[in-house]
Structure 1
Amino acid sequence: MSERKQTPATTAKPWVRIPDGTKVRHRSDGYEGYVDGLTEIVTGPRRNPDGRTQYRINIGESDRLLVVEEDLLILTDKEGLVLMAKQKVEYRCHITEQLHGAFANDRFIASR
C-alpha cells in the first residue's frame, strides 16, 4: 500500500501588491506619495507580506522612501476610487475593487 502525503489546506489569501502609481499616505508620519515599485530588503525586520520587499514611495522630485505595507493608507477620491497617477477611470475602478478585496475598509481614506 502506498502512503499518500496529505498537504494541509491553506486558507491564507495570496498577497495583493499595491500597484505602481497608487497614491498613498504614511499612517503615522502623514507624508503622501505614489508607489514607485518594490525594493528587495536583505537585512532588517520589517517587510511586506511577501517576506522580501518594501514599497518604494515617491514623495517628490527625486525623493524616495522605503515603507512596509502595514504603514500605508490608500488614498481615494470623493467617489471612493483609488487615486492613481495617469490612469483612466475604468482601470482605477478595477484596482479599487481588487484592493478592497485585500484590505480592510479602514485602509482607504479620502484625499485632502
Structure 2
Amino acid sequence: MSDSKQGRLETRRSWVRIPDGTMVRHRREGHQGFIDGLTELAGGPDRNPDGRTQYRVNIGESARKLAVEDDLLILTDADGVVLMLRQKVEYRSCVSKQLHD
C-alpha cells in the first residue's frame, strides 16, 4: 500500500463525526445552523476525512447547505461546551471532550 493510501486510511479510521444537532457556523459564508446528517457524494472535490461525505447543515426553515468539516466552526457556550439541540449539559460535555481529543 502506498504512503498516501495508508495516510488516507488512517485519517478515515481516526475521524470523529460531528453529531447531529451540533450548532455550527460556516467559516467563509457565515451562515449558522445545526448538523442535520451526512450526504454521500458521487463527485466533487471537497469531502470530509471519510473521503465520501459532506455535512448537511440546517440553516433555517427548509433550508440546507452542504459543507465539509474544515469549513465549519463548532459553536460552544461560555464554558466551552458544544451547543447542541435538545441535549443536556452532561451529554454536551462528553461530546465536547470527544471532539477535542
Class of the TM-score when normalised by the shorter of the 2 chains: 0.7 to 0.9
Q: Are 2:70 and 1:70 equivalent residues in the alignment?
A: yes
Runs of 4+ in 1 over 2 A off after TM superposition: 10-13
Larger Rg: 1
Per the alignment, residue 19 of structure 1 pairs with: 19
Q: TM-score, normalised by structure 2?
A: 0.87
Gaps of 5+ in 1: 1-7, 102-112
User: Could you say which residue in structure 1 is the equivalent of 2:79?
Assistant: 79
Task: Output the aligned Cα RMSD.
Answer: 1.5
Structure 2 portions without partners, runs of 5+: 1-5
**Cα distance in structure 2, aligned partners of 1:11 and 1:75:** 27
Which residue of 2 is the match for residue 3 of structure 1? Answer: none
Secondary structure at the residue paired with 1:39? Answer: strand
How far the C-alpha of 1:11 sits from its partner, in A, is 6.4
Quote the residue 1:98 is aligned against.
98
Distance 2:15 2:99 in 1: 11
Following superposition of structure 1 onto structure 2, how do residues 24-35 of structure 1 map, counting pairs within 5 Å? 24-35=24-35
Query: What is the total number of aligned residue pairs between the two structures?
Result: 93
Please identify which structure carries the higher helix content: 2
Shift of 1:75: 0.3
